[in-house]
Every structure is written in structure tokens, then in C-alpha cells.
Amino acid sequence: MMGKHFRVKVEFYVSNFLYESYLNEEKTMSFYGFCHVIFPWLFKLWLRWEVFGTENIPATGPVVIAANHLSLLDPPVLGAAAPRPVHFMAKAELFKPAWFGFIIRKLGVFPVKRGGADREAIKTGLAYLKNNEVLAVFPEGTRSKTGDLGRAGGGAFMMAVKMKATIIPAYIYGTDLKRHPGWPKVRVIFGKPLPYDENGGIARENLEELGARWREEVLVLRKAGALQNGNICR
């Protein structure tokens, strides 16, 4: 009875908080802040979550965190690891039903239509960077089914170059739970800022070269995140 009573009270307070957030848009990041406190504890217990390299993320200014992509857990795991609020793009289909779309919007997620360049999504991402905020992208463009690091699409770095944002490579390990039976161990490793020619523009060749260098840096992070048993994170 006590457990049921406690659960009902928690559900009541969370529902009330969401309703108040809906009425007052100024509380958007308050809900994000609440989750940013709760999620790390949950991830440490459930996923044996570890984070390295947060000192590499600038405290101010526009930042693009570019990470490998393994599963749907990557955005919350990456967002909880970063010391600053992070915005993510997510396929528009995830915003249905409406109540779920409302919640993930409160967590800094905005929709992108797949199958072509979504100008509205790009405009939104650029606006966040112009406002000196943090945007996370997955340059591979899709989740890896094998754990191997795929090739990076140069377009993922277009917004960073256009807004002259700091690019932080990141490596995520262990979120593909089907490949890691038992008690998972998740790691997030942030690398040092990726240097690039801010005056190089968004020419295709420049972006593709940047994507190739990002891949090299993430492979270095993967080696640096070797597990205690000597196996390389992958």
C-alpha cells in the first residue's frame, strides 16, 4: 500500500509539473534541469554509466557535439553527460502521440523530416547556435547495427561551420543493449575541440574533410575508452 501511495504521489507531482510547464514556456529548461539531475542517477544504477572529458566542452559560446550513434538511448545518455543543456534533432515520427512530443520538446528535442533537407529544422538548429547554445548531431546519419563506426556525412557539420561553433567529437559505448547482454556498462567520452578552418566555408569538399577528421578523432576516443578487460570499446 505504501509503495502504491508513493507512486501515485510521484505521478501527481510530475503530471502537475508538466502541466505548469505547458502553461508557462519559461519553465521549459526547468523540466530539462529536473531530468538532468535525475537521469545521471538512473543511468549510474541501470547502465553503470561513466562520463569522461566534460572539461573539453566550452562553458560558453556555440557548440556542436558530434557523436557516434548506436541506439535510441544515445540522446538521453549524451544529454545527461554534457554539463550544458543540449538540443537534438529527432525524426518527426517520434513526436507522435502529441503528449510524447510535448515531453521531448521540453527536453530540447526538435523534429526533422527525413528524406531530404528540412529547411525548418536547419533554421531551428542555426538559431540555437546563434544563441550560443549546444546542439548534438550524429554524423553517421543512422544507428550502427554492428557497433562499428560508419562514415560521416559532411552535411552534419554544415551548421557548425556556418555559425563558427566549437565542434566536440564524442564517443558513446554500450547503449546498444542487445549486443551487451547482462548488466550493461555505458561510457560517454568527450574529445578535445576539433580544429577546422572557420573561413573555409560550407563547400562540400571542406565538410567532407571535416567529417573524415571527425571519424579519426572518434576512433582515437574509442581506443582511449578501452574496457578494463582489455577489449576495445565498439
Domain-embedded: residue 106:
yes
Cell output for 116: 531530404
Least confident of 46-55, 72-81, 217-226: 217-226
CA distances from 143 to 11, 67, 146, 187, 225 (A): 33, 11, 9, 17, 20
**Average pLDDT of span 213-219:** 94
Q: For cell 533554421, name the residue.
A: 123
Domain-embedded: residue 201:
yes
Domain-embedded: residue 200:
yes
Cell output for 225: 575508452
> What are the residues whose beta carbons fall under 8 Å from the beta carbon of 150, sequence distance 6 or more?
140, 141, 142, 144
How confident is the model at residue 28, as a pLDDT?
45
Burial class (CB in 10 A: 0-12, 13-18, 19+), 171: buried
Q: For cell 574533410, name the residue.
A: 209
The predicted-structure confidence for 161-194, as pLDDT tens digits, reads as follows 999 999 999 999 999 998 887 888 999 999 999 9
Domain of residue 164, residue span:
2-224
How many separate domains does the chain show? 1
Domain-embedded: residue 229:
no
Beta-bridge partner residues of 167 = 64
In whole angstroms, give the CA distance from residue 182 to residue 185.
9
Q: For cell 562499428, name the residue.
A: 148
The predicted-structure confidence for 85-113, as pLDDT tens digits, reads as follows 999 988 888 888 888 888 888 888 898 88
For position 9, which CATH number holds? 3.40.1130.10
Residue 174: alpha-carbon gap to chain centroid: 15
More confident residue, 12 or 130: 130
Domain-embedded: residue 153:
yes
More confident residue, 223 or 15: 223
Least confident of 18-22, 66-70, 105-109: 18-22
Single pTM value for the model: 0.82
Domain-embedded: residue 230:
no
How confident is the model at residue 226, as a pLDDT?
56
**What is the percentage of the chain residues whose pLDDT exceeds 70?**
82
Identify whether the C-beta of residue 132 lies closer than 8 Å to the C-beta of residue 61. Answer: yes
